[in-house]
């Protein structure tokens, strides 16, 4: 519920898990942006704020609050996906290939204790306990759209911090050009590890510049709480300008390498899933178009399909990373 206060019409949620200090901070920052004349950005964050305000904590898991982060981009203008939809319609092949499987089967995943091993071309390799990773930088809540290559999307308030905080901490060497992310692959707790759909562990990768981009979120929570198992507890990536499969879940290893790493989906079908996998409405998947998407929760008879945006709506922020690259070849 929103109430209107003050002559400037600034809105903040009624009731309030937000401290007066935070509200004050938000208001002050809002006025500052408006003063800088960044009208587009201010508008986007304004709308995003309403979305945030409407996101009541689901009250299912431990709280993981994050300072609201004003990330410009398509999703900040949109209504949040219902928690229920975001946690019952998932891709997490370690727990089955049906969208309903992860919610049903992932209770066996043990997100605590958890360690992430950092290895390869870094000065400070080692095993990092989840608690230490959580403390490494302040948590932020960022509304990002997740666009699956299968043609659906969601808008989720993720909680985490820019992966660059961690990368800087472990001090990559000059020849570290890529980062490889490996998910847990434990056949005892993950019933479909061993199935032949994919090579296990689930593997993904980013070029160093992509990994260092502030939008790339090392994610520990959503909707103000820790991640549900089916969404990749206790730590996953969210790379909002790429198809969802780049956002590896339940990460146990982060490896700094010199050469472009192979990825799970690239190994499974190289002609369908390239390394970059930037959301691109102009490059079809070999078996279907990528021009439109269906928003989960809006799939009624009259729900319109939405036009997919270049880089999932983050072109202004990330387009430069691919300057001069042929995006049809580097799909
Ligand atoms: N380890 C692992 N990570 C994964 C997947 C997977 O099967 N295993 N699926 C990917 C795909 S295809 C998508 S669309 C997103 C889905 O994230 P969500 O369930 O939180 O919406 O997770 C990605 N990360
Ligand atoms: Mo996906």
Query: Is 178 close to ligand 1, i.e. is its CB under 6 Å away?
Result: no
Query: Is 273 close to ligand 1, i.e. is its CB under 6 Å away?
Result: no
Ligand showing the shortest atom-to-Cα distance for residue 228: 1
Domains of the chain by range and CATH?
63-322 (3.90.420.10)
What is the reported pLDDT for 56?
A: 77
Ligand 2 center to residue 145 CA distance, Å? 12
Query: Is 308 close to ligand 1, i.e. is its CB under 6 Å away?
Result: no
What is the reported pLDDT for 55?
A: 63
Ligand 1 center to residue 202 CA distance, Å? 10
> Which atom of ligand 1 is least distant from the CA of 92?
7
Instruction: Indicate the pTM of the whole model.
Output: 0.85
> Which atom of ligand 1 is least distant from the CA of 230?
19
Ligand 2 center to residue 13 CA distance, Å? 33
Ligand showing the shortest atom-to-Cα distance for residue 233: 1
Query: Is 231 close to ligand 1, i.e. is its CB under 6 Å away?
Result: yes
Ligand showing the shortest atom-to-Cα distance for residue 197: 1
How do the pLDDT tens digits run along the chain, 331 residues long? 333 333 333 333 333 333 334 443 444 444 443 444 444 444 444 444 445 545 679 999 999 999 999 887 877 778 999 999 999 999 999 999 999 999 999 999 999 999 999 999 999 999 999 999 999 999 999 999 999 999 999 999 999 999 999 999 999 999 999 999 999 999 999 999 989 999 999 999 999 999 999 999 999 999 999 999 999 999 999 999 999 999 999 999 999 999 999 999 999 999 999 999 999 999 999 999 999 999 999 978 778 899 999 999 999 999 999 999 999 999 9
CA nearest ligand 1 atom 16, residue: 91
Ligand 1 center to residue 204 CA distance, Å? 11
Ligand showing the shortest atom-to-Cα distance for residue 97: 1
What is the reported pLDDT for 74?
A: 75
How many CA atoms does the CB half-sphere of 19 hold within 13 Å? 6
């Amino acid at each position: 519920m929103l109430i209107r206060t003050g002559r400037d019409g600034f809105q903040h949620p009624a009731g309030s898990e937000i401290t007066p200090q935070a509200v004050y901070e938000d208001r002050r920052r809002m006025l500052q942006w408006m003063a800088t004349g960044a009208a587009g950005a201010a508008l986007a964050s304004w709308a995003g704020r309403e979305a945030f305000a409407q996101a009541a904590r689901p009250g299912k898991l431990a709280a993981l609050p994050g300072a609201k982060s004003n990330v410009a981009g398509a999703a900040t203008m949109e209504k949040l996906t219902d928690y229920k939809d975001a946690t019952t319609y998932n891709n997490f092949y370690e727990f089955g290939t049906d969208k309903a499987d992860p919610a049903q089967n992932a209770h066996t995943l043990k997100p605590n204790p958890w360690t992430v091993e950092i290895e390869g071309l870094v000065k400070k390799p080692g095993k990092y306990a989840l608690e230490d990773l959580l403390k490494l930088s302040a948590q932020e809540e960022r509304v990002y759209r997740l666009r699956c290559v299968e043609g659906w999307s969601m808008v989720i308030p993720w909680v985490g911090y820019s992966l660059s905080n961690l990368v800087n901490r472990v001090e990559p060497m000059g020849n570290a050009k890529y980062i490889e992310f490996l998910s847990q692959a434990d056949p005892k707790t993950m019933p479909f590890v061993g199935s032949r759909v994919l090579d296990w562990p689930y593997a993904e990768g980013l070029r160093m510049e992509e990994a260092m981009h502030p939008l790339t979120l090392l994610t520990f929570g959503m909707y103000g709480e820790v991640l549900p198992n089916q969404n990749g507890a206790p730590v996953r990536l969210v790379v909002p300008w790429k198809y969802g499969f780049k956002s590896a879940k339940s990460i146990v290893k982060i490896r700094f390498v010199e050469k472009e790493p192979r990825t799970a989906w690239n190994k499974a079908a190289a002609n369908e899933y390239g390394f970059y996998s930037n959301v691109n409405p102009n490059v079809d998947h070999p078996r279907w178009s990528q021009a439109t998407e269906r928003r989960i929760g809006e799939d009624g008879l009259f729900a319109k399909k939405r036009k997919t945006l270049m880089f999932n709506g983050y072109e202004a922020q990330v387009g430069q990373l691919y300057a001069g690259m042929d995006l049809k070849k580097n799909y």
